[in-house]
């Protein structure tokens, strides 16, 4: 009888010891599939081991199994909700474009820990993605108040301001980001913003700086080419558009830029060649009869008046 009792007492201890061993192995391995396998074994031995659920969820998320991660995070939230788990479930929900679900989770994480800046920043980002620009600005402002050197918060708040038409505030935030971190991305962001406002000279200066800091940004070459076209610097514009095409041979916007630039230079042959190339990539062929056929291009969306003046003339010339 005593042996039976002793055996019953040892079984839980042996299970606990084995679970700890498996948990340590899972923490050490870098193989995500192996991690999931080991944490699953831990859970089979200790069904209430919430740490195993959490780390298995992280591994599933990193492996791209976002739905599986959400299930594991949800198990923890039912049993013992905490800010980290809400935040991580929010990340997994965001990855499957469940922006509303992610918003709820980030809000819960921040509510449980108002020092959780990453959760507040993510909440602002998802509000931005949902088009809730005023609410996003409010949250980005809180982030900036708590972490004033976080340049990406300034960039995204600038974009939100821009979408609401508050261009002066947007410009201030773009400039703040550059002062905090004068890198290629920030100069490019302000340059693209200035292009939309038709400040072509100022935009070109920013794009020059962006390319000096990173000469592998195809978009910077395209935007700088567009600024030079608008400023009448046609030969330099051609160089930039051609450089953009070396990065992406199907850059229809660059080909349209070349067509307009060559048209300005009265080079009929190159105008037709580049216009027809752009139309071919866009799937238009030679069947061009309305400017709305270009509504998915940069020129239509951002430089409509200029494009509307020039493209019908080029279309007639090409026909």
Section 72-92 average pLDDT: 97
Instruction: Note if the pTM is more than 0.95.
Output: no
Residue 263 within a domain: yes
Q: Calculate ∠ Cα 102-103-107, nearest 5°.
A: 115
Contact between 198 and 186 under an 8 Å Cβ cutoff? The reply is no
Q: Is residue 288 one of the residues assigned to a domain?
A: yes
pLDDT in tens, 252-282: 999 999 999 999 999 999 999 999 999 999 9
Please indicate, yes or no, if residue 167 is contained in any of the structural domains: no
Q: What is the pLDDT of residue 19?
A: 78
Domain extent at residue 285: 250-319
For residue 131, tell me if it sits in a domain: no
pLDDT at 10 over 80: no
pLDDT, residue 290, reads 85
Nearest to 235 by CA among 257, 261, 202, 198: 261
**Percent of the chain having pLDDT more than 90?**
82
- Classify residue 203: in a domain, yes or no: no
Number of domains the chain contains:
1
Question: Mean pLDDT across the stretch 209-220?
Answer: 96
């Amino acid at each position: 009888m005593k042996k039976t009792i002793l055996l019953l007492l040892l079984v839980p201890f042996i299970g606990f010891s084995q679970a700890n061993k498996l948990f340590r192995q899972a923490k050490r391995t870098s193989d995500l599939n192996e991690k999931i396998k080991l944490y699953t074994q831990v859970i089979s031995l200790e069904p209430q081991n919430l740490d195993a659920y959490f780390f298995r969820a992280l591994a599933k998320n990193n492996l791209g199994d976002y739905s599986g991660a959400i299930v594991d995070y949800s198990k923890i939230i039912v049993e013992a909700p905490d800010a980290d788990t809400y935040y991580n479930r929010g990340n997994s929900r965001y990855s499957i474009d469940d922006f509303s679900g992610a918003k709820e989770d980030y809000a819960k994480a921040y509510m449980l820990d108002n020092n959780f800046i990453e959760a507040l920043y993510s909440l602002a980002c998802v509000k931005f993605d949902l088009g809730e620009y005023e609410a996003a600005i409010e949250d980005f402002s809180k982030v900036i108040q708590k972490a004033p050197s976080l340049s990406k918060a300034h960039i995204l708040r600038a974009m939100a301001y821009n979408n609401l038409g508050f261009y002066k505030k947007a410009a201030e935030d773009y400039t703040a980001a550059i002062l905090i971190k004068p890198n290629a991305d920030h100069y490019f962001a302000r340059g693209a913003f200035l292009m939309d406002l038709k400040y072509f000279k100022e935009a070109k200066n920013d794009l020059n700086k962006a390319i000096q800091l990173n000469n592998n940004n195809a978009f910077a070459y395209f935007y700088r080419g567009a600024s030079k076209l608008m400023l009448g610097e046609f030969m330099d514009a051609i160089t930039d558009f051609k450089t953009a095409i070396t990065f992406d041979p199907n850059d229809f916007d660059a080909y349209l830029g070349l067509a307009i630039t060559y048209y300005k230079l009265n080079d009929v042959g190159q105008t037709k060649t580049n216009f027809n190339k752009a139309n071919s990539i866009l799937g238009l062929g030679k069947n061009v009869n309305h400017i709305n056929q270009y509504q998915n291009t940069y020129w239509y969306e951002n430089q409509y008046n200029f494009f509307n003046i020039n493209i019908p003339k080029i279309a007639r010339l090409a026909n």
